[in-house]
Amino acid sequence: MFDWLRHSVSAWWPEPLRLLLFLVGILSFVGLNAAYLVWVERKGAARFQRRPGPTEVGWAGLLQPIADAAKLLSKQLIVPAGVDTTLFRVAPLLMMSPALMSLVVIPWSPGLAARNINVGLLMIFAFGSINVMAIMLGGWSSRNKYSIISAARIVSQNVAYEIPMLLVVVTMIMVTGTMNLNEIVLQQAGAFWHWNIFRVWVNPLMPVTFVIFFTCMLAETNRAPFDMAEAESELVAGAYTEYSGMGFGVFFMAEYANILLGCSLATALFLGGWQSPIGVLPGMFWFLVKLYFLVFSVVWIRWTFPRTQFYGLLNLSWKILIPASLVTLILTSAMMKLFPA
Amino acid sequence: MSASDLQPKADLPPPATSVAAPAPRPAAPTQPLPAAAPPPPNPLAHLPFAFQGVDYAARGYHCEVTIAPDQIIAVAESLDKEGLALDTITGVDWIAEGQMEVVYDYFHPARALRVVVRTRLPRDNPEVASIHRVFPGANWHERETHDFFGIRFLGHPNLTPFLLPEDADYHTHEAIPPHGVPSEMFTLNLGPQHPATHGVLRVKLRMDGEYILHAEPVCGYIHRMQEKMGENRTYAQFLPNTSRIDYLSAMTYTHAFVGAVERALKLQVPPRAEYIRVLTSELNRISSHLVWWGAFLLDLGGFTPLLYAFDDREKILDLLEGVTGSRLTYSYYRIGGLCNDVDDAFIKGTRQFVAQMRPRLKMYRSLVTDNIIFRKRLIGIGPISREMCRKYGATGPVIRGSGVPYDVRRVEPYSVYPEFDFEVPVFGEGDSLARYLVRMEEMAQSLRIIEQALDKLPAGPVMVEKVPRVIKLPAGDYCYAVEAARGRFAVRIVSDNKEIPYRVKLRTPSLSNLSLFEEASAGMLLPDALALMGSLDLVIPDIDR
Amino acid sequence: METQEDSLQGLRDCSPYVKFAKLDELLALGRANSLWPLTFGLACCAIEMMAAGASRFDLSRFGAEVFRPSPRQADVMIVAGTINKKMAMAVKTLYDQMPEPKWVIAMGNCAISGGPFVFPGQYAVVEGVDKLFPVDVYIPGCPPRPEALIEGLLKLEEKLTGKRRWPIVKPE
């Protein structure tokens, strides 16, 4: 059905309209997901904690995110006295935009990518660093000691975890030979043993590489057990303390949008994107299945593990993940040199 | 004459020998004095002060002395050399005599020895030297006594309001660190509304980046005048107050109060009532530790164990609600026994609970205690030495996590605890993990005690046959101590032979446990300091009363 | 056998399925179903509040389990415990920091009127939270059971939307 849509659109309508449709599509995808991932999180948390979770608001609580959205939209927007008003207002938007922009290059299904950019991976990571700046601005402009401590922690945490992530991505670029996400997914055609995560004849440590990528993704999106920045029991609400109403709502949504982005990237890079595991009927359905499986694991990990200390977190990155990703990089280049395929 | 170069006065009477008679008391109104009772021994006869032995079963302490105010530091120093710890300091206002009395309680962490030191000050100018140089734990007790009575402690570094609001006529003068101010120093205020402080505690932190230079807890935000209400309520009317001091282990607190009254009136509580008291107290201890466990893990970032702990706790609450009618603040014990008997449903339900709690504890061990992230956060964090515990009077799992096997149920046995076979868990490392393990093991030991109590539960009445209709304690002071979930809780009742106590002093464990936080947290990282505070297991109304 | 009367009856009774709502009612519905409390447990009642959020009674069924520690993100302040004169300033500051629309639930006897700590000559307790700021729902008890807290929350929802979620069960 999507193929028909694509054909019809490209045949009869001009390019700007195609882009507009994609824009609306991505915005609504992110919006709906951000809202309903909250529902998934609360229901998942509830089930892990052996209680029902939201049940009253609509059937099985499905209207809960709508109620939350209605409430947040109609809340008073307080800008505390003495804050830097421009930065204070801009920070949530700065956090949401990179995720939205990066979703432009993700291949959803054969041929269904908003833009088939040759340097797609590079673009995603370029935009991803804006995240750090956004939270730091939010924390700094709030004129609140808790927010500043939280902003300082986030900067050191994100900088520390970007390095192994980029090393892993460089490894993948060497393995696949391209930065174009569409090409990467096309290379993984066939049944599931063709997926990049099982490509051990080029990089024997490929599953380890996936784990490193996943961990760094958790840290970059500030999810537990790496949520030192918003350590609820220590820093009140961290960098978001002074945000009320929709300002806070946008931060909330941005966190889920970033998780979506990270999991889509992991799916495209390692798990074969829209390729089907049994070799038949590839398409968007498989992409969504893998994506939501990863998102569910993110939720699961949050409600299971306690938080590490801050230096434990940084030690994990500098002393364990960076050496590990360097080792995989060197090993991959050695394998590629010794066994040119 | 300065307070520091004191000598015992040359014209003191010769040291009391072991045959000294106990201090004369007015005759007890209802029971005749036991004929030809041997005089109680005086374990401190070798000290150059006029210590006298006291009948423990009648009063709740072993030894006392009344001295002049300028000898306070000398007595403190010699008791320090004996290895005693400071329990509490309080005052009694004898309005009719125009004097204020300061009462110092000391206890020994290794053997059964409780010493009471008293001194009298003129009411219009009450001044006495501060002993904080000998026992740093005296700092807070003296501030509280100053709050309540206006007694000035000379030489105290920070005699500012402790439980009363800060603008109560004094201005705080903060101690600036002597070596200049580090470059990134700033003051962070933790609380009084803060998720990690488990109640309304405010901690003024002076921080250098992420390191704590100085942490000063500020208390008094939930001061509910429990001790003052003791002076305005009859003995029976004060019972509901006892549950609300530390609401998580409410049964044990009520036990201490009714125990003190029964000790004074020399009531023999029937054995069935004693067994049920032990049974319910141990159930309460488990439910209190479960709340601590869940909240502590919440502090460390694990959200889920709290819900599991509350699940188990709901089962205990159902059992206790069936017997007492209340879920949290029970007023189940009465003076002379219990309010009502337990029924078969309770006994059956408790057995079922014990059977299903043991596998749960195993699950908690494998899921949480053996979890590497969790262990890394606790091992080596917040070390507290035995000396520090002794100087500050810390008790309960804090002192048992530092290697000292001090448990009131063993050292000063009360009720029918001597008839039970249980271990007192002691871990020697002194870090947060040691205190954590002490409490987890205590839950297992409580299950053992509960099983034995169910097996041995005697038949009989649950109330003394003849409790006086109007409860008046004979004049004098009476103490009773119990091992509550947080440590040693002691009640001291000063009576002047009326229906209403003259003074009720509540020695609460959380106050002594928290008073060492200032010294223990210097130089720590903030999350580690919060882990340390969580491992102390504080309930703030227990500090503020 | 279905008669014309029956099918007409079915047509008239479509109110459970179709709602004609003005914006106010919609917003009120949204707010009532997503009340985020402020973590403000002071004393004993706080434990019963935690028990109400735990698995057995589960406040999250009503969308109210997201306890926010920052007052800027909370809607309802559940004052659970005794208010002290030393604490009163801090409580008032927290109330002022909450953005509109906001509500207050006074949980427990201490928050309603000082509770068991009122006696002639008392010096430390503020006799009821409504001496500081307006209260919407009072929940008596010392401490009130978690079911009572849930009932209080439902009463607040009724105050917002004008309709009660579940009928009040009358004991037989």
Mind listing the pLDDT tens digit of every residue in chain B (545 residues)? 333 343 444 443 444 433 333 444 444 444 444 455 566 777 777 778 888 888 888 888 888 888 888 888 888 888 888 888 888 898 888 888 888 889 999 888 888 888 899 998 888 888 888 888 888 888 889 888 888 888 888 888 888 888 887 766 532 233 333 344 455 667 777 766 665 457 788 888 888 877 888 888 888 888 888 988 888 889 999 999 899 999 999 999 999 999 999 999 988 899 999 999 999 999 999 999 999 998 888 877 777 888 889 999 999 999 999 999 889 989 899 998 898 899 899 999 999 999 999 999 999 988 888 887 788 888 888 888 888 888 898 999 999 999 899 999 988 888 899 999 999 999 988 889 999 999 999 999 999 999 999 999 999 988 888 888 888 888 888 999 999 999 999 999 999 888 899 999 999 999 999 999 988 888 888 878 888 988 998 898 999 88
Q: DSSP string of C50-76?
A: HHHHSTTT-GGGGT----BSSGGG-SE
Give A241 to chain C, closest Cα distance, Å. Answer: 6
Question: What phi-psi label fits residue A281: left (phi over 0), alpha (psi between -120 and 50 degrees) or beta?
Answer: left
pLDDT at position C95 over 80: yes
Give B195 to chain A, closest Cα distance, Å. Answer: 5
Q: Which two tokens stand for residue B297?
A: 């893990």
Long-range contacts of B204-209 (CB under 8 A, 24+ apart): B205/B526, B206/B177, B207/B526, B208/B182, B208/B183, B208/B184, B209/B184
| Residue whose C-alpha is closest to residue B433's, from B482, B486, B496, B377 | B377
Nearest to B301 among A49, A149, A225 (CB): A225
Neighbours of chain B (3+ CB pairs under 8 A): A, C
End-to-end CA distance of chain C: 37
Amino acid at site B539: V
Other CB atoms within a 10 A radius of the CB of residue C9 amount to: 10
Say if C54 is an interface residue toward chain B (CB within 8 Å): yes
| Residue whose C-alpha is closest to residue B494's, from B475, B472, B470 | B475
CATH entry 3.30.460.80 includes domain B1-30+42-162: yes
- Any idea which residue has 């920091």 for tokens? C97
Q: Which two tokens stand for residue A180?
A: 């174009």
Nearest to C84 among B223, B248, B313 (CB): B223
Sheet of B114-122, strand order:
B52-53, B63-67, B114-122, B99-107, B85-94
Cβ contact, residue pair B306, C54, below 8 Å:
yes
Neighbours of chain A (3+ CB pairs under 8 A): B, C
Give the up-direction half-sphere exposure of residue B308: CA atoms within 13 A in the CB hemisphere. Answer: 20
Cβ contact, residue pair A309, B196, below 8 Å:
no
CATH of B229-530, one of 1.10.645.10, 3.90.1150.10, 1.10.760.10, 3.40.50.620: 1.10.645.10
Say if C50 is an interface residue toward chain A (CB within 8 Å): no
Taking contacts as CB-CB distances below 8 angstroms, the residues of chain C near A47 are none
Q: What is the DSSP letter of C116?
A: G
Tell me the C-alpha distance between B489 and B415, whole Å: 15
Nearest to B193 among C40, C54, C117 (CB): C40
ipTM of the complex: 0.83
Give me the residues of B, 255-314, that contact A with CB < 8 A: 297-304, 307-308, 311
Domain boundaries, chain B: 1-30+42-162, 229-530
Say if C50 is an interface residue toward chain B (CB within 8 Å): yes
Q: What is the DSSP letter of B65?
A: E
What contacts A131, CB < 8 A, 6 or more positions away? A95, A98, A99, A158, A220, A258
Q: What is the dihedral of CA B358, B364, B370, B376, to 10 degrees?
A: -140
Other CB atoms within a 10 A radius of the CB of residue B350 amount to: 23
Taking contacts as CB-CB distances below 8 angstroms, the residues of chain A near B526 are 234
Taking contacts as CB-CB distances below 8 angstroms, the residues of chain B near A236 are 194-195
Give the up-direction half-sphere exposure of residue B84: CA atoms within 13 A in the CB hemisphere. Answer: 23
Q: Which residues from A are below 8 Å from B when comparing CB atoms?
A: 45, 48-51, 145-146, 149, 224-225, 227, 231-234, 236, 303-312
Cis peptide before A92 (omega within 30 of 0): no
CA B353 to chain centre: 29
Tell me the C-alpha distance between A141 and A242, whole Å: 10
Taking contacts as CB-CB distances below 8 angstroms, the residues of chain B near A310 are 210, 525, 527
Tell me the C-alpha distance between B169 and A279, whole Å: 82
CA B186 to chain centre: 34
Say if C48 is an interface residue toward chain B (CB within 8 Å): yes
Cβ contact, residue pair B210, A305, below 8 Å:
no
The pTM of this model reads 0.83
Tell me the C-alpha distance between B270 and C36, whole Å: 51
Question: SS3 breakdown of chain B: % helix, strand, coil, rounded to 5?
Answer: 40, 15, 45
Give B140 to chain C, closest Cα distance, Å. Answer: 18
